[in-house]
Amino acid sequence: MKAFRIFGRSIRDAVKSVIRNFSLSFASIMCTTITLLLVSVAIICAVNINNATKSIEDELSIVVYLDREVTEETIENIKADIESQKNVEEVEFKSKTEWKDEMSEYDDTFSTVLNYLDENPLSDSFIVKVVNVEKLSDTAEYIKSINGVDVVKYGEGMVDDVISAFDVVKKVVAIVVIALILVTAFLISNTIKLTIFSRRSAIEIMRLVGASNLTIKIPFIIEGFIIGVIGSIIPICVTIYGYVVLYSLLNGHVFSNMIVLLKPYNFVFYVSGVLLIIGAIVGMFGSLLAVRKYLKI
């Protein structure tokens, strides 16, 4: 009961204190708002880059051209062999006729040349999608060794470069997001320190009349929570509105159809939730750090 009473009074005191020390509370709230806006931009970029790299990676596949003389039976055997590989996700057969039709549609010159020939010069093929793109070249090497396989194409060197570049980008973005969150924590905790500095006499009196350290800390922690939550309102609104507008302005992709943006819903709500949690936790933690300084002798 006593703990509930102290907690109830702490909430009352925290709300009072945010209002009574409004100018300093306002400074802390604005500081939280600005840094959370940066965090929001970083999170949106990070998640979209991650998503784009993943969808590009998903597009990567191995094209297996078969010997021109293979029989139907051999084709089935080769397919079974490829499918038996652990790293193979999907095998799709594409006959030489399909290739011919596709190429004819693509270019008139091709169409004319191909029609001129009596026999279709193209080969039957498989399009193989893999589970793990990092093992793409190993899988391609294996397929090449199967009897009846003529040529295997998977973009060789280029694919390796793209994959390692994506890896670097992902790491850099993760570091930037973590660094921004740390900077936010530091800035908010410093601003809250100023607020608490102005109330050190109240803390001193609380200690002198026999308030336990926990009783003193709780109102400040709740105050930090309130500041963090209020400070995250504007970034949340900007995130939801800004991303929806940006998405429709860019028609859902950046530069080319290769880099597709994530659909706004429910993505913006997840980001908002993360901002709210960061604001609240950083506010509480910043307050706790600041008040601890005045609880030592």
Partner 1 sequence: MKFIELKNVNKVYKNGVTALADVSVSISKGEFVFVIGLTASGKSTFIKMLYREEKPTKGTVMVGGLNVGKLRNRKVFKLRRKIGIVFQDFKLLPKLTVYENVAFALECVGMKAKDIRPKVMNALERVGLKDKVRSFPGELSGGEQQRVCIARAIVNEPKLLICDEPTGNLDPKTSKEIMTVIDSINKDLGTTIIMATHDKDIVNRMKKRVLLIEHGILAGDYAKGSYKTNEGI
Q: Kindly list the residues in this chain that would bind partner 1 in the complex (CB under 8 A).
A: 2-3, 5-6, 9, 20, 201-202, 204-213, 215, 295-297
Which residue blocks in 84-155 are alpha helix, DSSP H?
A: 96-106, 108-116, 136-144
Q: How far is the CB of 218 from partner 1 (least distance, A)?
A: 11
Q: Whole-number minimum distance, CB 164 to partner 1, in Å?
A: 52
Q: Using an 8 Å Cβ cutoff, are 137 and 128 in contact?
A: no
Closer of 117 and 209 to partner 1 (Cβ): 209
Task: Kindly state the smallest distance separating residue 9's Cβ from partner 1, in Å.
Answer: 6
Cβ closest to partner 1, residue 156 vs residue 204: 204
Strand 88-94 and strand 125-130: the pairing is antiparallel
Q: Is the distance from CB of 99 to CB of 125 less than 8 angstroms?
A: yes
Distance, CA of 175 to CA of 142 (rounded, Å): 37
Residue 187 or 211 with smaller CB distance to partner 1: 211
Alpha-carbon distance of 281 to 276, in angstroms, equals 9
Q: Which is nearer to partner 1, 168 or 209 (CB)?
A: 209
201 versus 257: smaller Cβ distance to partner 1? 201
| Residue 13: CB minimum distance to partner 1, A | 9
Residue 227's φ and ψ, nearest 5 degrees, are: -60, -45
The tokens of 37 are what?
A: 């806006």
Q: Nearest approach, Cβ of 10 to partner 1 (angstroms)? A: 10
